[in-house]
Amino acid sequence: MAGAAPPPLPAPFPVPLGAAPQAALAELDIFNRLAPYRPVLVGTFPLGLAMAGSDLDIICQAADLEAFAARVAALYGHMQGFRVAVKPVVGEPSAVAAFAAGGVPVEVFAQRLPVERQRGYRHLVVEARLLALGGTAAHDGIRALRAGGLKTEPAFARYFGLTGDPYAALLDLYDADDATLAQAACR
């Protein structure tokens, strides 16, 4: 679990989280309480794409997933709707906890992989880079697609014309240079 911090994320649209998500994170103190597991907030909130009902997605690295699940249960098992399971996610052993804090849905996710190698982190990096290159028009377009009911990755794929499985298509762009990403961003 110890190691270098993940590389910094691009922040094309730094936005306040909003009062309820900020209060939920303060109440949970999750970044301190789970610090040994290198928690990182991923998903729609850091991108400024959260909609009503969006959850706070926090990914972690845990060598022992059962111990991680037990720790999360000890800390947050009293929270509304709490559930936790250790199960494969896209073929990778994972621990997934879900609950609500102050009415805000929260998902805490862990794998043995370092956070920077996890899909959620890699999607966030690619999405942040695409938004930075695509500008306000991309941000507004993806928000509109999300408001129309699309999940985040399918919204990115549709907006940027990515073909095939949207989750895989975004992962394929993780190591792309800016010129390659700019081609996608200039749809």
> By mean pLDDT, which of 113-122, 153-162, 176-185 is the weakest?
176-185
Please say whether the beta carbons of 104 and 19 come within 8 A.
no
Please say whether the beta carbons of 93 and 112 come within 8 A.
yes
pLDDT of res. 10 = 45
pLDDT for 12 beyond 90: no
Confidence category of residue 79, pLDDT binned at 50, 70, 90: very high
Q: Is 12 helix (H, G, I), strand (E, B) or coil?
A: coil
Kindly indicate whether the domain formed by 19-113 is annotated with CATH number 3.30.460.10.
Answer: yes
CA distances from 128 to 56, 69, 98, 131, 134 (A): 17, 29, 25, 5, 10
Average pLDDT over residues 155-175: 94
- Which tens digits make up the pLDDT trace of 28-55? 999 999 999 999 999 999 998 998 889 9
Single-letter residue type at 119: R
Q: Write out the residue limits of the CATH 3.30.460.10 domain(s) in the chain.
A: 19-113
- Which tens digits make up the pLDDT trace of 91-147? 999 999 999 999 999 999 999 999 999 999 999 999 999 998 888 999 999 999 999
Alpha helical stretches, state H, 29-118: 30-33, 44-47, 65-76
In order, the DSSP letters of 116-165 are GGSHHHHHHHHHHHHHHHHHHHHHHHHHHHHHTT--HHHHHHHHHT--S-
Helices (H) and strands (E) in the chain, counts: 8, 5
